Amino acid sequence: MAAIETHELAREFEGGIKAVDGVDLEVAEGEIYGFLGPNGAGKTTTVRMLTTLLQPTGGRATVAGHDVEHEPGEVRRRIGVALQEAALDPLMTGRELLELQATLHGISRREGREKGQSLLDRVGLTLAADRRVGTYSGGMRRRLDLASALIHAPEVLFLDEPTTGLDPVSRKAIWEEVRKLNDEGTTVFLTTQYLEEADQLADRVGIISGGRLVAEGTPGALKADVGRPHLELSLVEGAGKEKRAEQVLARFGRPLPARDGTLMVELERGSAEIGPIVVALDQEGFAVESLDLVQPTLDDVFVHKTGQHLEGAERAGDAEPPVEELPGE
Amino acid sequence: MIETLAANARVVAALGRRSVMQTLRRPQLAAPLIIFPTALLAIQTAGAGRAVSLPGFPPVANFLSFMLAGAMVQSLLMTGNSGAIAFAIDMEMGFTDRLYATPISRASVVLGRLAATAMLGAMIAVYFISLGLIFGAKIHEGVPAVLWIIFLTSASALAFGSIVAALALRTNSASVVQGIFPLIFVVLFVSDAFFPANLMLEPASWVAHYNPLSFIVNGIRQPIIDGWSLETQLKALAAILGFGILGFTLCAAAMRGRVRRGL
């Protein structure tokens, strides 16, 4: 059984604005699914529908085997939700918040206290447990938010941009915790606008743009779909010998135009060819000074699929986003 | 069935507790409940105390005894308003979404908020009765009157709070809820709260005579200054019930509207 399944899921708001326009998803149990897209792409609207906070206006969705529209209570019993911006009451203490959350999930007062303490320990907030949330840093709030989503040991955890605005250290701490939870068997549905986050955490990534899923697959497969990795290398005393070196490199793949004395070649078989290239260059009398295998990024995937960069700051074209199935899915 | 009711009651109590704490910990919410009505009570008692000698003024031990009910009603209206502002703040910052994502009904979230308003209403009654007794007010009907006043104040806060909570649900805006308070204050001034209706000029006297807030004020005031009257108490209960039915109906409609609008 899929942990999350949607079919033609859609949400249209007043005024005919289609925030989500026919999304098909299937997230397996125990998977970390990264839902990637720029602001306004439809990520949060999708999460709000999957967490029963918003009714779909089209299609259907099931979470943990229950229909979000017709069995919202059953869905809520099985999910944990950490929403964007960590909406926490600044006047409550961390401990009070967890105990309240436990009560809302029908956990007894005694058990709620114990679970709350255990989660505070887990996310490193033991010393701050009795301080008001208003005094917490952004990273502490996110960790508390995460802890509150875990109080009832959910089957599926929804994290809506869990690290937006956090410093790198706090971000890594959240990533570690997400990995641990996933290792324990929790399915994680993670929305993010950070490429690195999706790349680091997700088993599979879905890219949404304009309310439509434009690509889906493992980060590796998505990147492979838009281009092969290329090798950038510079040679010791290579000046004036580029032509001959390029002839050697051409045996392994398509040479790319050299840049500032750096030779580049697109590799057919990725990193497996680095060794043979170095040997071949050595046999022709070239000594390699440095080399770097450059992989396509998820931003390249996003540009390829939508004509826009992920951050939305740069626009490479106005093409309608095509909906494509990737090979091997 | 009983288990479900008990579970819901536990949720409402937990949310109510949290809302009471929220009010007490946020000075801008707590201060208007106590400081403003106390200040007005002190100023009016000190400045207009000789009003008790006016012909037609109800027989009363002192002006403070007369004014206590008005201060309580003023404070309970502010309690309802503060509660709705806090509710709107919860909605604005997304805290209610956190609650809605748990397996409780949306109605429990509203009921939790109103339970807190009722609890604060009871605390207000205790505060003003204590204050009155310290400064020389007399409670004509003694302890039973105190208990009855606590009940009326608490129920009135709940009923009035439901109307303002509906506004919070409808508008999703703390500033809109805050903005209606001057209107509430005007309605309070054209009631029996601070001056007997029979001594007002027309048309204020006529408005005050039929103002439902006057019924509640008189229900609270009568056992303090005079004695029990079934008719007065029934009028007070009817006014509270009317506010409550109106408020809960508006809340239900506002909640349906929120779901429809995707909030």
Structure confidence by residue, pLDDT tens digits, B14-35 = 999 999 999 888 888 788 888 8
- The per-residue pLDDT for B128 is 94
Amino acid at A68: V
| Min Cα–Cα distance to chain B from A56, Å | 9
Q: CB–CB of B103 and A54 under 8 A? A: no
In terms of CA atoms, which chain A residue is nearest residue B86? A89
For the residues A68-92, what does the mean pLDDT come to?
A: 88
Find residues 11-70 of chain B whose CB sits inside 8 Å of chain A: 11, 14-15, 18, 21-22, 25-26
CB contact under 8 A, B18 and A100: yes
Residues A62 and A167 grouped into a single domain:
yes
Asked if residue A233 and residue A144 are part of one domain, the reply reads no
What percentage of chain B carries pLDDT values higher than 70? 99
When mean pLDDT is compared across A277-286, A292-301, A312-321, B147-156, the lowest value belongs to: A312-321
Of B15, B22, B262, the CB nearest to A91: B22
Judging contacts by C-beta atoms under 8 Å, the chain B residues touching residue A85 are 94
Break chain B into its structural domains and give their ranges: 2-261
Domain boundary among A161, A196, A223: A223
Q: Using H for helix, E for strand and C for coil, what is the string for chain A?
A: CEEEEEEEEEEEECCCEEEEEEEEEEEECCCEEEEECCCCCCHHHHHHHHCCCCCCCEEEEEECCEECCCCHHHHHHHEEEECCCCCCCCCCEHHHHHHHHHHHCCCCHHHHHHHHHHHHHHCCCCCCCCCEHHHCCHHHHHHHHHHHHCCCCCCEEEEECCCCCCCHHHHHHHHHHHHHHHHCCCEEEEEECCHHHHHHHCCEEEEEECCEEEEEECHHHHHHHHCCCEEEEEEECCCCCHHHHHHHHCCCEEEEEEECCEEEEEECCHHHHHHHHHHHHHHCCCEEEEEEEECCCHHHHHHHHHCECCCCCCECCCCCCCCCCCCCC
pLDDT of residue A172: 86
State yes or no: ipTM above 0.95: no
Q: Across the interface, do A53 and B259 touch by the CB < 8 Å criterion?
A: no
Residues A25, A68: one domain?
A: yes
Q: A109 with A193, same domain? A: yes
Q: Is A324 within the bounds of a domain? A: no
Tens of pLDDT, residue by residue over B186-244, are 888 889 888 888 887 888 889 998 999 999 999 999 999 888 889 999 999 999 999 99
CA–CA min distance B252, chain A (Å): 17
Residue-wise pLDDT tens digits, A147-201: 998 999 899 999 988 888 778 888 888 888 889 889 988 999 999 878 888 888 8
List the single best residue of B102, B113, B258 to mutate versus A (max A Cβ within 10 A). Answer: B102
Cβ <8 Å between B98 and A83:
yes
Mean pLDDT of chain B, nearest integer: 89
CATH number where A134 lies: 3.40.50.300
B115, B17 in Cβ contact below 8 A? no
- A11, A48, A53, A150: best mutation site toward chain B, by most B Cβ within 10 Å? A53
Specify if A322 maps to a domain.
no
CATH label of the domain that carries residue A268: 3.30.70.980
Q: Which of A162, A193, A223 marks a domain boundary?
A: A223
Are A73 and A210 within one domain? Answer: yes
A202 and A235: one domain?
Answer: no
Residues in chain A with CB shorter than 8 Å from the CB of B26 are: 91
Residue of chain B whose alpha carbon sits nearest to that of A157: B101
Q: Which of B7, B100, B262 lies closest to A106 in CB terms?
A: B7
Domain that holds residue A283: 228-294
* Residue B126 pLDDT: 95
In 3-state terms, what secondary structure has residue B228?
A: coil
Average pLDDT of the residues in B117-128:
94
- Residues A183 and A235 placed together within one structural domain of the fold: no
Query: Could you tell me how many CB contacts below 8 A there are between chain A and chain B?
Result: 67
Q: Is A17 within 8 Å of chain B by CB? A: no
Residue B251: is its pLDDT beyond 50?
Answer: yes
**Where is the domain boundary, A168, A191, A223?**
A223
Put simply, the chain A residues between 105 and 124 with a CB less than 8 A from any chain B CB are 105-106
The residue of chain A with its CA nearest to that of B27 is A91
Same domain, yes or no: A235 and A186: no
Q: How many domains does chain A have?
A: 2
